[in-house]
Chain A
Amino acid sequence: MIDERLTIAGHEFKSRLWVGTGKYKDFVETQKAIEVSGADVVTVAVRRVNITDRTQENLLDYLDPKKYTILPNTAGCYTVDDAVRYARLARAAGVSDLVKLEVIGDERTLFPDTAGLIEAAKILVKEGFIVLPYTNDDPIVAQRLVDVGCPAVMPLAAPIGSGLGIRNPYNLKIIMETVNVPVIVDAGVGTASDAALAMEYGADAVLMNTAIAGANDPIAMAEAMKYAVDAGRLAYKAGRIPRKLYATASSPIEGML
């Protein structure tokens, strides 16, 4: 099936699976998993350069900028000021104007501080950033983020790294139906079926990190996720049959003895 490409603010993406680069054993494994996943968007975090140990390798040396769109995040930021500061630093480092905006509200759940998120998004959009906000599965907040100029929204399936899968499919569906921008389900995926389900519901893409990096065999899981996202997308485009309580025979009655 020929599918249209996912396009966000003029950026065109081949893959509907986006992946993070954290928690892998080493950069070789990171590189291999990303390659196998077929993802062309990879998220990275912004941190201090290690000044004391310059023998450490650089992640970006393992990610060909011609092959991948690098999506810096503001992970670990708990205030509007911090998130804005990290986003500006990411842009100044020179990879792109894209930012996966996170304003975290609480350490235990890592749920977004949605009030702070909207405020930070507003500031960054005005500064010309392409803001992709990591948000809660709240349709009203998603719409507010669109209203302030986010060209896509990234609602969570479940808490970051929890592997719980989609906890509130109905809210996600409402978001997909109500916002007129791409919806990328971000965080909480545990295994391939979770990713497939998100795509079947109509997500435009799925972003994950731990589900792949934390699997016993990350490379195999990366491949599983690729198929899951493709299968889910195909099923969504194909249109599933309605659920019915009783049977409908698939074989005709005519011609029976």
Chain B
Amino acid sequence: MDIHLNGESRYLEKESTIAALLQELKIRSDQVAVEVNLHIVDKQDFASRQLQEGDRVEIMSFIGGGAESSLSVTEA
């Protein structure tokens, strides 16, 4: 089945939970937040939450940033 993962389409061979997807991607679950179809999924539900065809999944974490919006700033 196909899902949208962080803005890109991704094919999953079999049914998958969020925990399984994170494991497949080698992403530690302790420092991420996961949103499915604009709803944040509690960490404790990662193992039980099944992904569905067409789900829009966002896996978010922290990067360096400070007083600036480093991704959208227009440098003077």
Query: Which residues of A pack against B, CB within 8 Å?
Result: 19-24, 27, 30, 43-49, 51, 54, 58-60, 70, 72-73, 75-77, 85, 88-95, 102, 104, 107-108, 110, 134, 160-162, 186-187, 207-210, 213
Contact = CB atoms under 8 A, between A and B. Distances in A.
Interface in B21-75: 25-28, 30-35, 38, 40-43, 58-75
Nearest to B29: A94
A58 B64 contact: no
A48 B67 contact: no
Contacts of A210: 66-68
11 contacts: A45-B63, A46-B61, A49-B60, A49-B61, A89-B33, A93-B33, A104-B69, A160-B67, A207-B67, A210-B67, A210-B68
Contacts, number: 156
Interface of B: 5-8, 10, 25-28, 30-35, 38, 40-43, 58-76
A139 B29 CA distance: 41
Given A89-B60, A93-B61, A23 B66 contact: yes
Given A49-B6, A54-B26, A90-B33, A43 B69 contact: no
Given A58-B31, A60-B31, A51 B67 contact: no
A45 B6 contact: no
Contacts of B31: 58, 60, 93-95
